[in-house]
Structure 1
Amino acid sequence: MFERIQRAYDVLDHPDADGEAVCSELKGTGVDVDVTTIEGKEGTTDFVKIVVPGEDPDANTLGVIGRLGGAGARPEEIGMVSDADGAIVALATAFQLAEMHARGDVLAGDVRIATHVCPDAPTQAHDPVPFMGSPVDMATMNEHEVDGEMDAVLSVDATKGNRVHCERGFALTPTIKQGWILRPSETLLDAQERVTGEPPRTLTLTAQDITPYGNDVHHINSILQPATATDAPVVGVATTSVNPVPGSGTGANYLPEIAEATGFVVETAKDFTRGRASFYDEAEFDRLKSLYGSMDHLQTMGESR
């Protein structure tokens, strides 16, 4: 796994990093790669979509989104920023699954991986430490990263700029579906325990964390923004730290923890596509809706008052 992470790190930690570099790494592996360059108000970025095909067209499809503002903040900062964790894990997962596929270890269902590559993203003010901005807005990110073919989504994001979760490693969020914050998935906690050899770690969320960006309320970060753009269940995979670390901080990509997060994503891909893991209890979700109604208004910008 460390070799896969090193490959991802080398692709991203370059002043001229782009989607074509990712394509070159995956050439000849049997996976599909699509790159789309989008220009925003503060620069450009390359959205990369990777599809690792499964052997059963009726099996579950897992989505993996490497969420970040940018892998670098040049010229303000030199080198890889903390915010790059999501892209590192997404690409390392792609490299691992592509190699497995080439060797004949084909998963039951497809895994659709999406992230974007930007070596010179802007920074932005945030409490308690600065965040990374992005050349494009959140709606554009969701448009290019959230796929209607995804039956469930893991959203991987560096989540170190807070005082909510104060330990190194990676933490799982409760499952988010159509505006509901559901209880954490037991089968995903099982996979986390298996990969780390430790008790599971979960990330505390508030209702405002799962609302869309741009509504002028505080968000822990963008880890659950994909949940505003899909009805599929979404779980955040948060790489964490003991002390608050700026998203634009360099030298803060903790490789052992990234390796564990990547291992978790790979194990979840195996389990979910075979029907061994679920993101939520469907009967319980239906019961909640019958008792309290829809919460999908939290997926919108709300009403202006």
Structure 2
Amino acid sequence: MLERLLKRGEPAPVLLDVRWRLGGPPGVEAYRKGHLPGAVFVDLDRDVAGPPGPNGRHPLPEPADFEAAMRRAGVSGDRPVVVYDGADSTAAARLWWTLRYFGHQNVRVLDGGYHAWTTAGHPVETADAEGEEGVAAEPGDFTARPGSLPVLDAAGAESLAKAGVLLDARASERYRGEVEPIDPVAGHIPGAVNAPTLGNVGVDGRFLPAELLRERFAQLGATDAVDVGAYCGSGVTAAHEILALHLAGIPAALYVGSWSAWVADPTNPVATGES
């Protein structure tokens, strides 16, 4: 699909490499070793989120900051964008969601990411200089207009867990409160339903077919007939859940602050064990 987009001519899509792994080496190191030809590196922590604080570890960036970052990357409002990460689209989905939230109408995710591209035998580029972040894009004219996708705050997430379906995209042991490697409190938002992000993809990192995603979410009570939302630890993997729901034809709101923002307020209730 991406190959066809690249061959269509004008306007060619902007390619954004947003490889990132929590606790791992900086994504730019992987980018320097190899990336899609013409792709521009985007740093998830610096460009796609605001500074950590009471609103979570990866809160929404300020519109002006995100606009500036996307313009540096060559993003314009009338030009399609394709985003990718290493394989499973976790980081790519957060950039996909953020671009769409700020009003870009034509954003796609390369299913299977860099791994799928290289496995198919397509060419790559490298960045030779140690400090180089790769392609210097021609500046774009993207204008960030927040509010194009629904979001939840803590009160909205608490309400949705009672009146609709609030999906917790974290691993099951974190949801149950058995372990918590990052945040100071273990557990989940009372009433939330566990739907680990890894269940959205196959072993190759590609999304499951839409019908299987619909079946998965229906078993959890999430359909297009009810209000649905998602959260995770800090709003990254939950964006992957939103993308999977989108592929299944189910609109959903993102609690961007997620668990890291929820437990920053000691008055918020915490549940443990199974739902």
Q: TM-score with structure 1 length normalisation? A: 0.28
More strand by share: 1
Q: TM-score with structure 2 length normalisation? A: 0.31
